[in-house]
Amino acid sequence: MSKVIAFAGKGGVGKTTVASLVVRYLGATGKTPILAVDADPNSNLGETMGLQVTSTIGEIRETYMKDPQGIPSGMDKINYLETLVEQALIENRAFDLLVMGRQEGQGCYCMVNNILNKFTDKLTKHYKYLVVDNEAGMEHLSRRTSGRVDLLFLVTDYSLRGLRAVRRINDMLGGLKLDVKNLAIVVTRGPENLSQEFLAEVQEIGLPIAGVIPYDPALLEFDMERRSLLDLPAESPSVLAVDKLMKEYCPTA
């Protein structure tokens, strides 16, 4: 059974960056195969890892719904949709990437969603690790992981606004029917010593801080040059921080 590591947080706090660096860590330590799942409608996980995304599950769903009869001769709808998902899977040396894309439009998507969900569930069983980058609402998370999550990191930048988004996400977990084994906060762009105001807010939330990712100028440099974060040097502050985080929270990784 795949070990599920998931990330959630409001937009712009750096959760996709942290997810990418976790994939980097798992790949660098030989803990493969890995399936990275971009479940954020604002999909950019592939971009941070230097991959060009040509198809998403959302696009497959919309294409089928526009023309349910447009199935090639000799194929049934199940085989057709499964073939499209296989084509959407981006294969890499150390990991594969599947992008969920846009959510459902108008109309009943129950049949096509059931087929896609069953196939992606079957697909994930072939991987040792499933790394899921989620939207803040996390609706995809309960569907993509059958409700089981081994590690859920709620990501915030070093701001009270980001922390309050973490609080809201944490509060909604009870209604998502998720079985979360380990839940913690990750702080991005944080100083060596967090302020008392920040720590007081964390204490009110009631979750531990798993790690603090310091400001790393290399992240901006790689973004501007459109370089993969997987190629960050091992001594990069962000890489060192995520490696330390994973060694502590995923010691068997």
pLDDT, one tens digit per residue, over 171-203 is 988 777 788 999 999 999 999 999 999 999 999
pLDDT, one tens digit per residue, over 47-67 is 999 999 988 888 888 888 888
CB 178 within 8 A of CB 8: no
pLDDT, one tens digit per residue, over 216-238 is 999 999 999 999 999 999 999 99
* Overall domain count for the chain: 1
> Distance of CA 61 to CAs 67, 117, 189, 231, Å?
10, 11, 37, 33
**Could you list the residue range(s) of the whole structural domain that residue 223 is in?**
3-249
Asked if the model's pLDDT at residue 213 lies above 80, the reply is yes
Considering the entire predicted model, what is its pTM?
0.91
Mean of per-residue pLDDT scores for the chain: 88
The reported pLDDT for the residue numbered 106 is 58
Give the highest mean pLDDT range of 42-51, 95-104, 108-117, 138-147: 42-51
Average pLDDT over residues 148-154: 92
Asked if the model's pLDDT at residue 135 lies above 90, the reply is no
Give the integer Cα–Cα distance in Å for 33 and 27: 8
Read off the pLDDT band of 156 (50, 70, 90). very high
CATH code, domain carrying 71:
3.40.50.300
> Distance of CA 172 to CAs 8, 14, 159, 213, 230, Å?
12, 21, 21, 25, 32
| Residue 37 CB neighbour total at 10 angstroms | 28
Residue % of the chain over a pLDDT of 90 = 56
Give the integer Cα–Cα distance in Å for 239 and 198: 24
Read off the pLDDT band of 143 (50, 70, 90). low
